Structure 1
Amino acid sequence: MSNIQMGQAERLKKEFELSGKECNHSFGKLKEYYLGTATGDYRCSNCYEVL
């Protein structure tokens, strides 16, 4: 499992939403961090939606 910063995840999520594609969240998950501290959330590694 990899990690991602919250700000980066939000930017990538918006890009994915603009693409009009759909995601079934079967691509794996990323542990979300904010300024080096885990938020407790996980993100889909394809669409970056909070799981």
Structure 2
Amino acid sequence: MNGVTEEVAKEAMRLASHKLPIKTRFVTKAQLEAEIAAQQNGVGGEA
């Protein structure tokens, strides 16, 4: 989410996740880019 603090975004996602029938997780752009780079380099990580 753009335009809000990370704290506010996490709280909004926490509240929304209780209404969703699926498992959710909060990922920052930096974390996502690191995971993608690791997968492309053949290093472990989550699928």
Q: TM-score, normalised by structure 2?
A: 0.38
Choose between structure 1 and 2 for higher RCO, CA contacts under 8 A separated by at least 6 residues: 1
Q: Compare the two structures and name the one with the higher strand fraction.
A: 1
| Structure ID, larger Rg | 2
